[in-house]
Amino acid sequence: MLPGFFTLTVGSPGMRGLTTLAGGHVIAGFTDLLKLVTIVTAIAVGLVTGAALAGRRDDVV
One-letter amino acid identity for 25? H
Residue 44 is predicted with a pLDDT of: 84
What lies within 8 Å, CB to CB, of 42 at 6+ separation is none
- Tens-place pLDDT, residues 9-53: 677 888 889 999 999 999 999 999 999 899 888 888 988 999 899
Contact 43, 55 (CB under 8 A): no
Confidence of residue 58 (pLDDT cuts 50, 70, 90): confident
Q: Give the residue with greater pLDDT, 6 vs 27.
A: 27
Confidence of residue 2 (pLDDT cuts 50, 70, 90): low
pTM exceeds 0.95, yes or no: no
